[in-house]
Structure 1
Amino acid sequence: MSNEQTTPADGFSYELTRTLDAPAAKVWQAWTTPEQYAQWAYAAEGSVEMDVRPGGAWKATMVTPDGGQFPLTGSYLQVAEPRLLVVGMDVPGKAEPAAMTVELDEDDKQHTRIVVHQTCDTAEERDMSEQGSTMLLDSLTAFLADGAHN
């Protein structure tokens, strides 16, 4: 597994890149199947709903390390299975959703390069989003490595 992290100096964006030990189809399933997503993405059991198509809605209740819960909602802005997922997250007080892009590129039949990137309105939002996305990728990596979902 390799980790790369780059944050462009001109704006409030981040990009995280990993090489995962799984084919793109398995990584796609982990991101787009409610039962699998709930297992690795810190979501409360039974809270994840996904209509994975452009304009389709999603929702999940996330659980923080201290046991707090907060609901998230949004929609899928772009879907190109199993290569591209642009997920919009509703942000209170903002007309436009925050968009996170997930790109998958299968290196071979056993490894997939995943790139997650997002542009935020402020440095604070970027830092919080980047920290959250890093936690998600760490958890996804462990989930795919354990093989129980195969």
Structure 2
Amino acid sequence: MENSTSITVETIVHAPIEKVWEFWKNPDHITKWSFASSDWHTPHAENDLKVGGQFKNSMAAKDGSVSFDFVGTYTAVAEHQKIEYTIEDGRTVRVVFDALGEKTRITETFDAESTHPVEMQRNGWQAILDNFKKYTEEG
């Protein structure tokens, strides 16, 4: 895909890498954090976290007005370190996990798509990452 714009979002989760990794990969957890705002949810998630494996998160507006599947294929997986995948539309994503004792830094870099403004995409992905942080710290 010809796209030169990449976007990076980041957070520090106040939880050890083992917990962060489990909450990131387990579909039972994914359904509880993988949405950008409170009027959306993820009613179903599948995740085969290995090179060549796929994930599918069904994301939907709570009012039933719209939904879509966020689907990708893993291209690199290093436990407790990084995950890389390609989304169905050909864009790539790299997620890096840095263990900082009882904290974990997550840095997510993804190819921007051309439909929505970059700032809107950054805000959406950051909101999902913030939901992950909140859910993991409370869980």
CA separation of 1:60 and 1:120: change in aligned 2, threshold 3 A? same
Question: What displacement does 1:38 show?
Answer: 0.8
2:20 is the counterpart of 1:22: no
Q: Tell me how far apart the structure 2 counterparts of residues 100 and 22 of structure 1 sit (CA, whole Å).
A: 23
2:97 is the counterpart of 1:104: yes
> Which residue is equivalent to 1:32?
25
Amino acid at match of 1:12: T
> Which residue is equivalent to 2:85?
87
Q: CA RMSD in A?
A: 2.0
The correspondence for 1:132, drawn from 113, 120, 124, is 124
Question: Is contact 2:10–2:126 with CA below 8 Å preserved after alignment?
Answer: no
> Which residue is equivalent to 1:7?
none
The correspondence for 2:137, drawn from 136, 142, 145, is 145
> Which residue is equivalent to 2:55?
58
Question: Is contact 1:21–1:145 with CA below 8 Å preserved after alignment?
Answer: yes
- Say which structure, 1 or 2, has more relative contact order (CA 8 Å, 6+ apart): 2
SS at match of 2:58: strand
Amino acid at match of 2:122: E
Question: Is contact 1:119–1:126 with CA below 8 Å preserved after alignment?
Answer: no
SS at match of 1:55: coil
> Which residue is equivalent to 1:3?
none
Question: What displacement does 1:66 show?
Answer: 5.2
Amino acid at match of 2:95: V
TM-score (norm 2): 0.82
Structure 2 residue runs without a partner (length 5+): 36-40
Identity over aligned pairs, percent: 25
TM-score (norm 1): 0.77
CA separation of 1:78 and 1:129: change in aligned 2, threshold 3 A? farther
Equivalenced residues, count: 130
**Structure 1 stretch 126-135 or stretch 111-120: which is displaced more?**
126-135
Structure 1 residue runs without a partner (length 5+): 1-10, 92-96
